Structure 1
Amino acid sequence: MIKRSTLRAQVAGALRDEILAGRLPAGSHFTVKEIAEQYGVSATPVREALVDLAAQGLLDVEQHRGFRVHEFTIDDYRSMVKARMVVLDGLFHGYFSEEGPVPVLALDAAVLASVRRRAEAAVRAAHAGDLDVLIGYDLRYWRELSEVIGNRYICDFLDRLRVQCWVYSVPFLRKEHEMAKRLWSGHRVLVDAVEREDAQATRQIMDGYHRHSLALAE
C-alpha cells in the first residue's frame, strides 16, 4: 500500500517536472479535482502536494479557483540569480578558508564520485541541447555539491532558487535555434577545481557561471 505522504511527494514531483519542462506554462490554472483525476488519486495528497509547490514559489493559490502556475518576471529572475550568487560565493568562501580548504571532500570519495557522474551527464546534455535531461542532472549536481561543502538549510534555499530560475528561463531557451550554445556546461571543470582545492580556479569558474546566468536575462 502506498502511503499518503509518498503519494503527496510523487504528485508534487510530477507536477514540478511538468512546470520545469514548460508543459504547465506560467499562468496555467487547475483545481485539486482536475489534478486528482489526472493522476488517479484522492484529493487529499493532491491538495497537500499543491500546497507544497505553492510554498516553493511555483504555484499561486487562487481563492475559490484552485491554483495557478506562478509567473516570474525578468526582475524576479535577475534578483534570484543575484541572491544565488551571494549564497554560493559565501558557501565556497567558507570551504576555502584562510587556513585552506576544509578537508571534507577527501573524506567522502563516494559522494564526490556521484557529483562527478552528475557533472559528466549534465555536460553531455548541455552539448546536445537536451534541456529536459540537463535540468534534472543540473539540479542534482548542484544539490550534491552544495551538500558536500555546505549545510542542508543553505542547500534547500539554493535548490529552490535554481528551480525557479529554470522555470523562468526554459520557455525562452526552447525558442533558441542553437540552444546548446546558450547552456552553461562548466559542471565538470568546477568539480575538478574543487577536488584539487584550487580556490582561484573555482572562483573564476563560479564568476563565469554567474555572468552566464545574468547574460540569459538580456
Structure 2
Amino acid sequence: MPGSGAVTRNTLRQQIADALRDEVLAGRLPPGTEFTVKQIAEQYEVSATPVREALVDLSAQGLLESVQHRGFRVRVFSVDDYRGMIEARTLIVDGIFRQLVERGTAPGSGEMLVSVRRRAEEACRAAHSGSLEVLIGYDLRFWRELSGLVGNAYISDFLHRIRVQCWVFAVPHLKAAPDLHTGLWSGHNELVDAVTRADAAEVRSLVHAYNQRALDWAAGLKAVGA
C-alpha cells in the first residue's frame, strides 16, 4: 500500500519521542545527560532515521539540545528559566480562564469536564501519596484537557509544552526533597469545582495561589544556590 512505510515511520518517531519524554520527566534521563542517535536506536532496536527525527522533535520542544559532534543532551534549565516559564504559564492560564468567563466553554465541554474531573481526582491522589511520576502524567492531562475547554488547540499545545518544561526542571529538585509529598500541589479538585460553578473570582484566586507557590519555591531554590 503506497505511503504505509511513511506512516509506520512517523508512528515510530512519535513513540520514541514519547518514550524519551517520559524518561526525562521521570528523572531517569537527568538534565545534562548526553547520548547519540546510535545509542537510542540500539536501545529501542530501531533504525536511526525515526530516532533522529524524534530527537529533533524533542529539541524543538526545548527538552533536548544538539551537541556538535556528540549527539544530544537533556537540557538543563536554571531557576531563572523556571521563573520565566511560570510567568509565561500565568499569562496563558489567565487568558484561558478570562475567555471561559467571557465566551463560555467550547461545544461538548460537558463531557470534557467529566474527564477533567477524573484527571483531577487521580492527580490529587498521587500528590497526597507523593507518587511523583503518576502525578506528572495526570497533571499534564488535567491541564491539557482543562485548557481544551476554550476549543483552541494552539493554546492547549503551547501551555502543554511549557508545563512539560516546568516538570523537567522541577523533578530533580523534588526528588531530592526529604518531604516530597508536602511540596506537591494538590488543588486540582478545587480548581475544577470552581470552573464547573463558573466562579471566576475563585478560579483567579486558586490559580494565583498556585503560581505564587511555584514562584516562592523557585525563590527558595535560588536562595540556597540550587
Cα distance in 2 between the residues matched to 1:138 and 1:91: 17
Q: TM-score, normalization: structure 2?
A: 0.91
Q: Secondary structure at the match of 1:3?
A: helix
- Residue by residue, what CA displacement relative to the aligned partner does 1:41-74 show, whole Å, maximum 9, x if unpaired? 1100000000000000000011211101111011
Cα distance in 2 between the residues matched to 1:96 and 1:17: 34
Cα shift at 1:156: 1.1
Question: Are residues 103 and 13 of structure 1, via their aligned partners in 2, closer, same or farther at CA, if it must alter by over 3 Å?
Answer: closer
2:105–2:150 Cα contact (<8 Å) kept: no
Cα shift at 1:151: 1.1
Cα shift at 1:149: 2.1
**Seq. identity, %:** 58
- Residue by residue, what CA displacement relative to the aligned partner does 1:63-120 show, whole Å, maximum 9, x if unpaired? 21110111101100000101110111111112112xxx51547x43221111110000
- Residue by residue, what CA displacement relative to the aligned partner does 1:132-161 show, whole Å, maximum 9, x if unpaired? 000000000000000112511111111111
1:138 maps to what in 2? 139
Cα distance in 1 between the residues matched to 2:157 and 2:105: 23
Cα distance in 2 between the residues matched to 1:166 and 1:92: 22
1:124 maps to what in 2? 125
Structure 2, unmatched stretches of 5+, are 221-226
**Matching of residue 70 in structure 1 with residue 75 in structure 2:** yes
Q: TM-score, normalization: structure 1?
A: 0.95
1:6 maps to what in 2? 11
Cα distance in 2 between the residues matched to 1:69 and 1:204: 35
Cα distance in 1 between the residues matched to 2:150 and 2:121: 20
Cα distance in 2 between the residues matched to 1:189 and 1:72: 30
Residues 116-195 of structure 1 mapped to structure 2, 5 A cutoff: 116-195=117-196
Counterpart code for 2:182: K
**Displacement over 3 Å in runs of 4+:** none
Structure 1, unmatched stretches of 5+, are none
Counterpart code for 2:171: V
Cα distance in 2 between the residues matched to 1:126 and 1:177: 15
